[in-house]
Structure formats: C-alpha cells, structure tokens
C-alpha cells in the first residue's frame, strides 16, 4: 500500500496547464470510486486515499451505493457527488495522492483550497498545503494584501490565516478613510472583530511596555554610551519610539525607526542628565539596528492577543 506523501523539503513546482491535466492525473485504471465535481467532471480514484484523508468524505463514501451509472458505461463505479468545482477539487487531490502538489498561484485560489480541505476535516492535508505554501519565495499574506486576506480568511472560516492577516494589519491605522481604498466591501461583523483585535493588541502593549523597556530593551542596550539615556538606561530616542508604538501601533515601521536613529546620530540636540546640549551621538551609530528593531518587533507581534473569529 502506497503511503500518502508528506510535505516536501523543497518547494514543489507548480502544475501548469501545459502539464498533465487533472483528468489524466486522476483517471486511475485501478480506481474503485468516482468523485464527481459540481460542474460534472469525474475523477476516477482509489477510495482508500480519500477515506484515510477525510472522515467526512469517508462517511459519504460509505453511504454511497456500491454501483451507480457512470459516464463510462464499460466500468460502472460508485459515484460520490461533491459540491466543489473541478478546478479546486483537482488541486486538492494532488495533496492527497502521490503526485506533484499543484500549488495555487493566487491568494484567492489558495484560500478556497484551504477552506475545502478544512470543510472535509483533512487535518494532514491542511498541514501539507500550508507547508508547501510557506516554502514559496513570497509570502501568501503580506502588508500589500493583509486586509483582503483577512476578509477572505474570515469568509472561509480560516482562523490561522485570519489571525496572521490581522497581525499584519496592526502596522496600519484602522480608520474608515484607509479602508475606503480597499477593494473589499467588508461586512461590519468582520471589521468589528478586527477593531476588537486592534484594541486588544494596544491594551497588551500598554500593560507590557514598561516591563519590556526595563528588561528586554535595557539588556539589549546595556553598555551603550548614548548622549541621552532614559532612567531605564536606553536612548531617549528609542524610548520615545517605543512609547509611540504604544500610542499608535501603526507607527511601527522600519523606515520610521531608521529615520529616528539617523536623525539622532547626525542632526539632533539632546539634553544630557547634566543639562548640557550635544549634537549627534557617535555611540548610537554602532547600534546593530536590525537587532534592536527585531527586539522591538517582539513587543508588537509575540505578545498574546485574543482574537475571536466568528
């Protein structure tokens, strides 16, 4: 008995229209069942793979009569009628059978594929799809499509993707003026959940920020000879930047961070504890900015935030 393939260690190639068609891939001469799509395309497959992958389809197969009329009159096989179209069904089957997985090329297609796998309670298939998608050169959800991804994930009931998209939206101001430019007409319930998430994230920031500055930020900045240090021992410009995130999480931005650091090093006046004024700061020029920014990143994205999804 062939084993169902595991997630690959290297990104699998996309199956394109020039490759084998789904009809060729899933026209097994040893098939013992036919899956029929909503648009009447039939897939002749071995039912053992389907039963092992999905308890939902397993029950549906068990309830299917042993014989039924097929478009192939020579070899009548039991037919399981599914509500999914042929395109998404053929892609889903590539993650079940020992063939190259056909990774969808768009966000919309990927979300639909994940939703179908979730509908059929295909736990291992869901992990397989997400693993293959994660190995691609570009992320499925990013700042450019975060709001659209959040809308799709909520629409399909994909909690993992909804939370990821919601986290990315923290870097944007959640205002009506901003959302008007988005392509989706997002239901009020989805916007309300996102608003609650932003409020929860900001509340967590407020409750954790002092501890973060005294421990994590202070230890990262230990030994620094900045011209203007806060009482906690970190540069005043960084202290103000962190508290600015507390006031507005959307202000968390690498460009703003680098601008603040550059201005402090080259063109700012700071008041020292002795009351003197000094221009610039040579010491902060040696700060590994990527390390400091990564440290601040943990404050915003690794703190637990409650995110109810309907």
> Could you tell me the pLDDT band of residue 94, with boundaries at 50, 70 and 90?
very high
Examine the domain organization and report whether 127 and 216 are in the same domain. no
Q: Does a structural domain hold residue 204?
A: no
**Mean local confidence (pLDDT), 271-281:** 56
pLDDT of amino acid 187: 81
115: number of Cβ within 10 Å: 19
Under 8 Å between Cβ of 277 and 268: no
Alpha-carbon distance of 190 to 63, in angstroms, equals 37
Angle at 241 between CA 238 and CA 247, to 5 degrees: 145
Q: Does a structural domain hold residue 2?
A: no
Q: Does a structural domain hold residue 61?
A: yes
Alpha-carbon distance of 217 to 291, in angstroms, equals 11
The contacts of residue 6 (CB under 8 Å, 6+ apart) are 128
Q: Which of 103, 134, 165 is the last residue of a domain?
A: 134
Alpha-carbon distance of 153 to 146, in angstroms, equals 10
Q: Which of 113, 134, 155 is the last residue of a domain?
A: 134
- The upper half-sphere exposure of residue 286, i.e. CA atoms within 13 Å in the direction of its Cβ, equals 8
Q: Does a structural domain hold residue 101?
A: yes
Examine the domain organization and report whether 130 and 215 are in the same domain. no
Q: For the chain, how many structural domains are there in total?
A: 2
> Could you tell me the pLDDT band of residue 6, with boundaries at 50, 70 and 90?
very low
219-261, pLDDT tens digit by residue? 666 667 777 778 877 778 777 777 777 666 666 666 677 777 7
Examine the domain organization and report whether 29 and 121 are in the same domain. yes
Q: How far from 308 is each of 43, 119, 190, 201, 240, CA to CA, in Å?
A: 38, 19, 10, 13, 32
Q: Does a structural domain hold residue 172?
A: no
DSSP structure string for 118-154: HHTT-HHHHHHHHHHHHTSSS-SS-TTTHHHHHHHHH
| Helix (DSSP H) and strand (DSSP E) numbers for the chain | 14, 5
**Mean local confidence (pLDDT), 193-215:** 76
Q: Does a structural domain hold residue 155?
A: no
pLDDT of amino acid 307: 46
**Mean local confidence (pLDDT), 72-95:** 88
CATH number at residue 111: 3.30.710.10
The contacts of residue 276 (CB under 8 Å, 6+ apart) are none
Alpha-carbon distance of 213 to 238, in angstroms, equals 10
Q: Which of 102, 134, 166 is the last residue of a domain?
A: 134
pLDDT of amino acid 181: 53
Q: Does a structural domain hold residue 235?
A: yes
Q: Which residue has the higher pLDDT, 282 or 106?
A: 106
**Mean local confidence (pLDDT), 84-96:** 96
Examine the domain organization and report whether 119 and 221 are in the same domain. no
* % of residues, the chain, pLDDT over 70: 66
Evaluate if residue 180 carries a pLDDT over 60.
Answer: no
Q: Which residue has the higher pLDDT, 158 or 203?
A: 158
> Could you tell me the pLDDT band of residue 263, with boundaries at 50, 70 and 90?
confident
Q: What domain range is 40 assigned to? A: 22-134
Under 8 Å between Cβ of 299 and 212: yes
């Amino acid at each position: 008995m062939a084993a169902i393939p595991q997630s690959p260690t290297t990104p699998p190639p996309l199956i394109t229209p020039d490759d084998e068609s789904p009809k060729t891939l899933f026209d097994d001469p040893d098939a013992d069942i036919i899956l029929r799509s909503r648009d009447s395309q039939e897939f002749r497959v071995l039912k053992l793979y389907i039963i092992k992958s999905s308890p939902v389809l397993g029950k549906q197969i068990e309830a299917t009569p042993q014989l039924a009329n097929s478009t192939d009159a020579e070899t009548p096989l039991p037919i399981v009628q599914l509500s999914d179209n042929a395109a998404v069904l053929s892609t889903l089957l590539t993650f079940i059978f020992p063939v190259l997985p056909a990774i969808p090329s768009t966000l919309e297609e990927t979300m639909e594929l994940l939703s179908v796998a979730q509908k059929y309670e295909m736990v291992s298939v869901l992990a397989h799809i997400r693993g293959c998608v994660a190995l691609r050169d570009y992320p499925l959800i990013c700042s450019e499509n975060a709001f659209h991804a959040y809308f799709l994930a909520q629409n399909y009931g994909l909690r993992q993707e909804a939370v990821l998209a919601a986290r990315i939206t923290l870097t944007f101001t959640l205002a009506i003026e901003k959302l008007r430019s988005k392509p989706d007409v997002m239901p009020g319930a989805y916007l309300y959940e996102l608003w609650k998430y932003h409020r929860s994230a900001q509340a967590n920031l407020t409750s954790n920020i002092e501890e973060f500055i005294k421990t994590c930020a202070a230890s990262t900045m230990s030994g620094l000879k900045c011209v203007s240090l806060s009482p906690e021992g970190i540069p005043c410009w960084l202290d103000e930047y962190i508290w600015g995130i507390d006031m507005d999480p959307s202000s968390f931005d690498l460009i703003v961070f680098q601008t603040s650091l550059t201005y402090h090093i080259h063109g700012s006046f700071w008041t020292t504890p002795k009351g003197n004024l000094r221009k610039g700061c040579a010491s902060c020029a040696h700060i590994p900015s990527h390390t400091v920014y990564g440290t601040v990143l943990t404050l915003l994205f690794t703190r637990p935030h409650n995110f109810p999804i309907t």
